[in-house]
Structure 1
C-alpha cells in the first residue's frame, strides 16, 4: 500500500477514498466573535440544526485533486453510485487503485458484484488502526476546519452547496500531489506495528 503512494503503477491512478458522514447543517444564530491579537476566531454555541449530509471523496494522490459526491446516506448502494461516478470521470484506459478503510459499506454484496464487473478497479484496505495511511483524511481535516466548522447553513441544501464549492475551489487553487513527510522505512515500520496490534487484538477476542 505504501508503495502505491511512493511508486504508483504505470498507466494507473491511485485514489485515496473515504466518506465523511453526518456533517451537520448548523445555522449559527450569532456571528463570529471579534478576534483579539493572539486569539483564534470564536463562535457562540447558539445554533439551529437543519439536518445532515455525507460526502464521499476520492483524493488523487498524483495531482491532489478531489472527486466528490454529496449524499444523504452512506450505504453500500451510495458507495456503488460513487464508484460509478469515478468510473465515468476517469480515463477508461487507466487502471484504478483505491486505498480505503474496512468499513462494512465497502464490502456489501452489491459492492462486491459491481467490482467483479469492473476489473479495472482494485481495492486496497488499510489496517483497522492505521487510518492515517488514507491520504484523503488530511483533506477532510481541511474541509472540516475551513468550511464546515466555520460555516453557518440555513438548510441541508445550503451545506451541500458549500461542500461542492469547497471541492471546486480546492481543485482550482489548492490541489497538489500527496507527499509523505516520513522516510519509507519509518512508514513501513509504523504499518507493521499497526498490523501486529490488529492481530493481537483479534486474537484476544
Structure 2
C-alpha cells in the first residue's frame, strides 16, 4: 500500500479545461491521456472518483502511471500534471563563428592548391583544419557556409569581359545599340552576321539503337574527317536567317557570302545595315580581293557596316541564332560538308517557317547605367 493516495478534487474551472482538452483532440496524445486520468480520479465527478486500477484498465495504462499523475497534480498543479515539463539546456557556443565563416569564404575565393583545378567541399574542410581555423570541420558544414553566402567555387562561366574606361568599346557598342532601335525598313534592313568553326566527325563503329529502358549507345572513339566554317546571317526583325558552310574561313569565302546575301536574298534592297564582329576577313577590302573592281564597288555601296566592339561579341544577335543552331542541330557527329549542309538547311527552313525572332531589350540608356564602368571619366 502506498502511504499517500493523493486524492484529486478538481474545481469547476479545471474540469472545464480538461474537458476541452479531451473533446477537441488538438492536444498531444500524452496530454489527452493525462486529462482523462484526472477527470476519472476527481472526487467531484458524478458517481465519485474511480480507483487507480479501474482507471488503469479503462485507459490501458499501468496503475503506477495513474499514481504518478495524481502526485504531479497535487504537487505541481494542473499544468504540471498535463503539460510536458520544458527541458532547460545550457547554451552551446557555435562551432563556426563569424570569424571562422569569413575565413572559409576567403579561402573558397582564393586560388586552389597546386595540382587542383578547383576547390571541393572536402578540400576546403581539410585546408581549414590545416590552417587551424577550427579543430575539426565536416564538408557538410562547409557546404552550408557556401550556400548561405551564395558561393559556388566549383563553377565558372566564360564571358567576354571588356576593358574598363574604354572609349573605343563604348563608341562601337552605342553605334550597334542605336542600329537595333531603328524601326524595320525593307529598303535598308538590319542583318547580323557571324561564323563559327565546326569539326566534321564520323563514327568509328555504328551506334547501337535505343531499346526500352536502355538509351542509344555511341562508341567514344570517332574519326576526324576535317574542319569547316559555318556562316550565319539573320534578320532579327524579319524573323529570317540563312546558314551555309564552306571549307575555309578566308576573305574569299566571306566576300562570296556577302555577294549571295545582296544578289540573292536581298536583291531588291538598295542597302543593308550589316552588324558583325571586326575580324580581319570582315572588311570591304575582301570584296576587292575576291571580285573585279566593278563588282566589288557595286556590292560595297550597298553595305553599311557596323562593327561590334572587341570583347563585345554578345552585342551581335547572330550569336543567339548560332547558339540555337548548335543546341538544336550540331550537337552530334556529322561526317561531311554535304551532310552538314542538308541538316542545316532543314533547320533553317523549319526555323524560318516558325517565324522565330529576337526581342532585343538592351538599349543605350541601359548601357550607360549598367555598364557605367566602361565609360571614360572626364574631369570638369
Matched-pair contact (CA < 8 Å) for 1:17–1:98: yes
**Which of 351, 362, 365 is 1:185 aligned to?**
365
* Residue pairs, 1:129-140, within 5 angstroms: 129-140=311-322
C-alpha RMSD of matched pairs (Å): 3.0
> Unaligned stretches of 5+ in structure 2?
1-175
- Length, aligned pairs only: 189
Cα distance in structure 2, aligned partners of 1:115 and 1:187: 36
Pick aligned residue for 1:16 from 189, 192, 200: 192
More displaced stretch, 12-21 vs 27-36: 27-36
Larger fraction in strand:
1
CA distance, structure 2, for counterparts of residue 77 and residue 145 of structure 1: 28
Structure 1 Cα separation of the partners of residues 359 and 302 of structure 2: 25
**Residues 1:172 and 2:339 are matched in the alignment:** no
Match of 1:152 in 2: 333
- What displacement does 1:92 show? 2.4
Matches within 5 A, 1:35-46: 45-46=220-221
Unaligned runs of 5+ in 1: 197-205
Higher relative contact order (CA 8 A, sep 6+): 1
What's the CA shift for 1:70?
A: 1.5
Specify the alignment match of 1:105 in structure 2: 281
2:226 match:
51
| Counterpart Cα distance in 1 of 2:227 and 2:312 | 27
Rg larger in structure: 2
Name whichever of 132-141 and 45-54 sits farther off.
Answer: 45-54
Q: Give, in angstroms, the shift of residue 117 of structure 1.
A: 3.0
Q: How far has the Cα of 1:5 moved from its partner?
A: 1.2
List, as ranges, runs of 4+ consecutive aligned residues in structure 1 with deviation greater than 4 Å.
31-36, 41-44, 112-115, 188-196
TM-score (norm 1): 0.77
